[in-house]
Amino acid sequence: MSPESLAGRDLISLLDYTTEEIQEILDLACEVKANPDHYDRALEGKTLFMYFEKPSLRTRVTFEAGMTQLGGHAIYYTAADGKIGVRESVEDVARNLERWVDGAMCRTFSHEMIQNLARNSEIPIINGLTDLLHPCQALADYQTLMEVKGDLAGKKLAFVGDGNNVANSLMTAGARLGVHVTVITPKGYEPEGEMVAACRAAADTAGGTITIGNDLALVEGADAVYTDVWASMGQEAEQDKRNAEFRAYQINRKVMDMAGEDAIFMHCLPAHRGEEVTSDVADMPRSVIFQEAENRLHAQKAVMLQVMGGV
């Protein structure tokens, strides 16, 4: 399947993409990383609208820098400038944007909002994060895992923490790529059943597996141990409760030793050192957290090149 086949596509969930399409994006991300000058005019004259309901260091800088490095331009717009769906309907915003810009990236709370935006616009809509999914993070994560560990099919990734949007996206991409994804949470924090079922169906086709459990021993044999903050944006009121319930799930040297001496450590950042991960793990030689952060730039450049017609 040619890269041109992705032009004009939305990126809302990686389950909407085939194994081959996700691999195309990852391969292009590696190519862009190795040869950035080859693409420095690929999106010349094109504009990306960036909408933020949730602030972010990595998402804003990597998308905006990515568009600049591809020869295009990005517009930063926040909910303080006018919240989509409040000051103006989602449908009307979508029909305005498609007449002005070549693509839109949205970082929102509501997954339904970004789906509605995509339904009502002819330009590609990129999911920069919703409460349900974070596909661009997962692409950067699997690019990193591929760089460090080689071919992804058959690899084992153990996610420890809340069954949140990052866990969901690691499952969706991993399911398509033939990865064995294990999500380990305290009881009551597992990913929602409908998402797990959809990912398991995809994994059955690609040769991977999706395992959900509550026992830290499930990290044994993992190629990568991954964690995230215990309370995401919007869950601040639950911080103390979550700290107590997740404390036993902290990633420390003991957990990394359980995984094995070749296991790498992954985190989407920001990291709350001393909570979900100890500093000695975050800074250990097998930690790739800043390689993941760098790859947000390259993976998202690949996405924009694909869906905005730059390749």
Measured distance CA(201)–CA(100) in Å, rounded: 39
List, edge to edge, every strand of the sheet that includes 103-107: 73-78, 47-52, 103-107, 125-129
**DSSP assignment, residue 88?**
B
Which is the catalytic residue, given 111, 176, 267, 296? 296
Asked whether 163 and 232 are in contact (CB, 8 A), the reply is no
Task: Give the chain's count of helices (H) and strands (E).
Answer: 12, 9
CA 42 to centroid of chain Cα atoms: 24
Q: Is 107 noted as a catalytic residue in this protein?
A: yes
Asked whether 156 and 209 are in contact (CB, 8 A), the reply is no
Q: Is 141 noted as a catalytic residue in this protein?
A: no
* CA distance readout (Å), 25 to 184, 283, 284: 28, 29, 29
* CA distance readout (Å), 17 to 155, 176, 220: 20, 8, 30
Which is the catalytic residue, given 23, 69, 115, 137? 137
Counting Cβ atoms within 10 Å, is residue 105 exposed (0-12), middle (13-18) or buried (19+)? buried
**Strands (DSSP E) found in 228-267:** 264-267
Which is the catalytic residue, given 268, 298, 300, 306? 268
Q: Is 268 noted as a catalytic residue in this protein?
A: yes
Asked whether 78 and 52 are in contact (CB, 8 A), the reply is yes
Q: Is 137 noted as a catalytic residue in this protein?
A: yes
Q: Is 87 noted as a catalytic residue in this protein?
A: no
Measured distance CA(72)–CA(208) in Å, rounded: 38
Task: Return the active site residues.
Answer: 107, 134, 137, 228, 268, 296
